[in-house]
């Protein structure tokens, strides 16, 4: 059920949603990093939900600020464990 809801949300998600979520979680993020995260979330959300996103995460890590990546990865793991058990 969560998989469907997450997919529907991702389809409608904007860059501002990412910036707002980061702010809400006390993460400093540049607009460029938000654009990159948005792009990867839109394109690969099914891999993050059902697959093994290790290669995708490596790509993201090489493209965004290291501290932003560290914090975003931490949130990804927390939310994955919470919603995708």
How far, in whole angstroms, is CA 7 from its chain's centroid?
A: 12
pTM: 0.89
Q: Do residues 42 and 14 lie in contact, with contact meaning Cβ atoms separated by under 8 Å? A: no
Q: How many domains does the chain have?
A: 1
Question: What does the pLDDT read at residue 7?
Answer: 87
Using pLDDT thresholds of 50, 70 and 90, give the confidence band for residue 85: low
- What angle is formed at CA 60 by the lines to CA 25 and CA 64, rounded to 5 degrees? 65
Range of the structural domain that residue 27 is part of: 2-83
Q: Do residues 30 and 65 lie in contact, with contact meaning Cβ atoms separated by under 8 Å? A: yes
Using pLDDT thresholds of 50, 70 and 90, give the confidence band for residue 41: very high
Q: What gap in Å lies between CA 77 and CA 85, rounded to an integer?
A: 11
Q: What gap in Å lies between CA 17 and CA 73, rounded to an integer?
A: 17
């Amino acid at each position: 059920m969560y998989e469907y809801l997450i997919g529907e949300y991702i389809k409608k998600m904007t860059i501002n949603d990412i910036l707002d979520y980061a702010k809400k979680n006390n993460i400093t993020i540049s607009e460029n990093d938000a654009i990159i995260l948005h792009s990867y979330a839109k394109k690969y959300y099914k891999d993050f939900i059902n697959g093994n996103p290790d290669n995708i995460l490596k790509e993201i890590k090489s493209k965004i600020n290291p501290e932003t990546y560290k914090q975003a990865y931490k949130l990804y793991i927390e939310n994955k464990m919470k919603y995708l058990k």
